[in-house]
Chain A
Amino acid sequence: MIRIILTICYILLAPLIGGLLDGLDRKISAKMQRRVGPPLLQPFYDVSKLLTKRETAVTKSQNFLLISYMVLMILTGAMFFSGTDILMCFFVMSTAATFLYFAGVVTSSPYASIGAQRELLSMMIYEPAVLFACVGFYLATGSFNVADIARSSDSAIMYLPGFFIAFVFILTIKMRKSPFDLATSHHPNQEIVKGITSDIGTKNLAIFTVTEWYENVFLMAVVSLFVVNKNPISIVVALVVVLLVYFLEILIDNASARVKWQTMLKTTWVVTLFTAGVNLIILMIIK
Chain B
Amino acid sequence: MGKGLKSPWLLHYDGSSCNGCDIEVLACLTPVYDAERLGVMNTGDPLQADILVITGGVNAQNEATVKQLYEQMADPKVVVAIGVCACTGGVFKECYNIKGGVDTTIPVDVYVPGCAARPQAIIDGILKGIEIYNQRAEALERELEGGIA
Interface residues of A (CB under 8 A from B): 26, 30, 33-39, 42, 45-46, 49, 52-56, 58, 188-190, 193-194, 197-202, 205
Instruction: Specify which chain A residues have a CB less than 8 angstroms from the CB of B7 in the assembled complex.
Output: 42, 45-46, 49
CB within 8 Å for A201 and B48 given contacts A34-B31, A188-B43, A189-B42:
yes
5 extra interface residue pairs, beta carbon distance < 8 Å, beyond A45-B7, A54-B74: A35-B37, A36-B34, A53-B50, A54-B75, A189-B42
Q: Does B140 contact A (CB under 8 A)?
A: yes
Instruction: Specify which chain A residues have a CB less than 8 angstroms from the CB of B74 in the assembled complex.
Output: 53-56, 201-202
**A188 and B47 within 8 A (CB):** no
**Chain A min CB distance to B78 (Å):** 12
CB within 8 Å for A201 and B47 given contacts A45-B39, A54-B140:
yes
Instruction: Specify which chain B residues have a CB less than 8 angstroms from the CB of A198 in the assembled complex.
Output: 45, 47
Per-residue contact bits, chain B 122-149, to A (CB 8 Å; 1 contact, 0 not): 0000000000000001001100100000
Give Cα A26–Cα B37 distance, bound, in whole angstroms: 10
**A189 and B44 within 8 A (CB):** yes
Instruction: Specify which chain B residues have a CB less than 8 angstroms from the CB of A49 in the assembled complex.
Output: 5-7, 50
**A201 and B45 within 8 A (CB):** yes
The contact sample of 5 A-B pairs, CB cut-off 8 A, is A54-B140, A188-B42, A188-B44, A201-B45, A201-B48
**B34 and A194 within 8 A (CB):** no
CB within 8 Å for A52 and B141 given contacts A42-B7, A198-B45:
yes
**B75 and A53 within 8 A (CB):** yes
CB within 8 Å for A38 and B48 given contacts A45-B6, A53-B74, A54-B76:
no
How many interface residues does chain B have, given as a range?
A: 20 to 34
**A200 and B47 within 8 A (CB):** yes
Per-residue contact bits, chain B 61-74, to A (CB 8 Å; 1 contact, 0 not): 00000000000001
Q: How many A-B residue pairs have CB under 8 A?
A: 81
* Most chain A beta carbons < 10 A, residue from B9, B37, B47: B47
Q: Does B121 contact A (CB under 8 A)?
A: no
**A190 and B44 within 8 A (CB):** yes
Determine the residue in chain A with the shortest Cβ distance to B144.
A54
Interface residues of B (CB under 8 A from A): 5-7, 9, 31, 34, 36-39, 41-45, 47-48, 50, 74-76, 137, 140-141, 144
Determine the residue in chain B with the shortest Cβ distance to A186.
B41
**Chain B min CB distance to A109 (Å):** 10
**B43 and A35 within 8 A (CB):** no
Give Cα A188–Cα B41 distance, bound, in whole angstroms: 8
**B36 and A30 within 8 A (CB):** yes
Instruction: Specify which chain A residues have a CB less than 8 angstroms from the CB of B50 in the assembled complex.
Output: 49, 53
**Chain B min CB distance to A142 (Å):** 47
**A205 and B75 within 8 A (CB):** no
**A193 and B75 within 8 A (CB):** no
**B42 and A35 within 8 A (CB):** no
Give Cα A199–Cα B43 distance, bound, in whole angstroms: 12
**B44 and A38 within 8 A (CB):** no
Determine the residue in chain B with the shortest Cβ distance to A30.
B36
**Chain B min CB distance to A51 (Å):** 11
**B45 and A53 within 8 A (CB):** no
Give Cα A33–Cα B29 distance, bound, in whole angstroms: 11
Instruction: Specify which chain B residues have a CB less than 8 angstroms from the CB of A35 in the assembled complex.
Output: 31, 34, 36-37
Give Cα A137–Cα B141 distance, bound, in whole angstroms: 51
**Chain A min CB distance to B6 (Å):** 4
Give Cα A39–Cα B76 distance, bound, in whole angstroms: 23
Determine the residue in chain B with the shortest Cβ distance to A205.
B48
CB within 8 Å for A56 and B37 given contacts A45-B7, A202-B74:
no
Query: Could you say which of A33, A42, A58, A205 contacts B6, with CB atoms under 8 Å apart?
Result: A42
**A38 and B47 within 8 A (CB):** no
